[in-house]
Amino acid sequence: MKITFIRHSKVLFNWDKFYNADSFVSACKEYDNSPVQSGEKLKIEKQPVYISSLIRTEQTSNNLFQKEIEVIATALLNEIPIKPFIRTKLRLPIFLWMVLGRLQWYFNSSNQPETKRSSQARINQFLDHILSENQNCIIIGHGFYFAQMVGEMKKRDFTGNMNKRLKNEELREFKAY
């Protein structure tokens, strides 16, 4: 069984350099609802394409594939959410919001909407599903989610390029045995 992972197209959104907690929440929502850059159509064999329920993966699938491809949306593929690591009106660099929010996630802090444990469970639920289908498929997903998915795929003896960094619209192929 072959699984092809594609990171969504580049999001047409520019992050500011500084945010307070409220403006960071607003920026994350705006990013989630922003359009993506157009990509070139890909020629693929007929197989299911799984996407998250976030608009950027749907737009990416519309940009990259012909209309006759079966697209299946699932929240199991949604990016791992991030919230402010602290409630403050103080404006802090975007880097701090991202890194410290992810550190809270990593250490299973209830301050984040999802913990590392719950993310791993969600990823494994999706992997169980596609393995039970036992057919080649394409997954259009998100960067941080993909990095975590690679860790779970290694535990299941998938083969392929396990580098966790993935560029927009980059294709990675994996094999499950």
Higher-pLDDT residue of 68 and 1 is 1
Q: Please tell me the CATH code under which domain 2-175 is placed.
A: 3.40.50.1240
For 151-164, the pLDDT digits (tens) are 999 999 999 999 88
User: Can you give the pLDDT at residue 173?
Assistant: 95
| Strand order from edge to edge, sheet including 159-160 | 71-73, 49-51, 137-141, 2-7, 171-175, 159-160
The domain segmentation of the chain, as residue ranges, is 2-175
In angstroms, the Cα distances linking 58 to 9, 87, 112 are 10, 32, 25
Banded pLDDT at 39 (limits 50, 70, 90): confident
> Six-digit token pair at 166?
């993935």
Instruction: Give the range among 63-67, 118-122, 141-145, 158-162 with minimum mean pLDDT.
Output: 63-67
For 53-98, the pLDDT digits (tens) are 999 999 999 999 877 788 999 999 999 999 999 999 999 999 999 9
Contact 8, 171 (CB under 8 A): no
Contact 73, 53 (CB under 8 A): yes
> Six-digit token pair at 6?
């594609």
Contact 36, 9 (CB under 8 A): yes
For 166-177, the pLDDT digits (tens) are 999 999 999 997
Which amino acid type is present at position 68?
Answer: E
Q: How far apart are CA 34 and CA 36, in angstroms?
A: 7
Burial (CB < 10 A; 0-12, 13-18, 19+), residue 96, is middle
